[in-house]
Amino acid sequence: MTTLPVSTTNSDAANLNQVNSLMREVADSRVTNVFKGPNNINALINGKLPNDLGYGFQFSDSDGVPRILGYIDANNNPKLRISESGIDVTTATNDQLTFNSDNNLFTIVDSGTAVVTLANPVTHFSTTETTVTHGLGYAPAFQVFCTVDPSLGGELIAAPFSGFDGTGAFAFSIKVRVTTTQIIFGVQPNAASAYDGTSWSFKYYLLQETAS
């Protein structure tokens, strides 16, 4: 608060104006609190926000640019937005936001691991499978990564994937399919002896779209 205190040297009218100004500042502070940061910037605004956005919070970066905004809009919908570096979050377009709660996002509802071990010797173009039960009751979206047996280089590969050797000939295929109850991992090698008895490790994530 910046209002000076009342004084015995002031007129009654001046003191009354000071008291009224003080009361207005007290009332305003109950509506909006501003916390200062480095270089005296408004690092955090909490309460009634500028630009008629309603009530919430706004964080600014060290340059004084508003970057994080959270509030309840006029339709009682919560909003959370985070802008790119140097972009004012209160005026940013959708492609200038790194996060926007108005956009649906995939969330992880289940995850786990599985291993597919090939026969020794492998059977030409035969697929070996391992099945995991997920129990979600629907066929979810998924993201799967496979780590190739260390004896073959140990690469981490996003599945499904088909690999070829230096001549362009088929080398192996990593397969994934999902049902309403299971996720099935498969590895199909060619007849090269290098694949005999190799183990292929899978890491999976089952995804669900958040509600609007």
pLDDT of residue 4: 57
- Domain check: are 89 and 132 in the same one? no
Does 195 reside within a domain? yes
Domain boundary among 68, 85, 100: 100
Residue 199 banded pLDDT, cuts 50, 70, 90: very high
Last residue of a domain, one of 73, 100, 127: 100
pLDDT above 70 covers a percentage of the chain that reads: 87
Q: Does residue 37 form part of some domain? A: yes
Q: What range does the domain containing 151 cover?
A: 106-209
Name residue, tokens 């009224």. Answer: 20
Mean pLDDT in the chain?
A: 87
Q: For residue 3, tell me if it sits in a domain.
A: no
Q: Residues 193, 115: one domain?
A: yes
Q: In this predicted model, what pLDDT tens digit does every residue of 72-116 receive, in sequence order?
A: 887 888 899 999 999 999 999 999 999 999 888 889 999 999 999
User: Is it the case that residue 119 has pLDDT exceeding 60?
Assistant: yes
Q: Are residue 176 and residue 134 in the same domain, yes or no? A: yes
53 assigned to some structural domain? yes
**200 in the same domain as 146:** yes
Tokens of 191: 């007849």
| Domain match, 28 and 53 both | yes
For residues 127 and 199, membership in a common domain is answered with yes
**4 inside domain:** no
Mean pLDDT of 138-152: 95
Q: How confident is the model at residue 1 (pLDDT cuts 50, 70, 90)?
A: very low
Classify residue 6: in a domain, yes or no.
no
Q: Are residues 73 and 35 in the same domain?
A: yes
Residue 7 CB neighbour total at 10 angstroms = 10
Are 46 and 132 contained in the same domain?
A: no
Inside any domain, residue 143: yes
Q: Distance between CA 210 and CA 212 in Å, rounded?
A: 7
**Spatial CB neighbours of 139, under 8 Å, sequence gap ≥ 6:** 178, 179, 180
Does residue 54 sit in the same domain as residue 77? yes
Distance of CA 131 to CAs 41, 76, 134, Å?
Answer: 56, 45, 10
Q: How many domains does the chain have?
A: 2
Residue 32 domain-assigned (yes or no): yes
Residues 71 and 143 in one domain: no
Tokens linked to 100: 């926007």
Per-residue model confidence (pLDDT) at position 210: 74
pLDDT digits (tens, 9 = 90+) for 23-68: 565 555 456 788 888 888 889 998 888 877 778 999 999 999 999 9
User: In the numeric block, which tokens belong to residue 132?
Assistant: 């995991």
pTM greater than 0.85 (yes/no): no
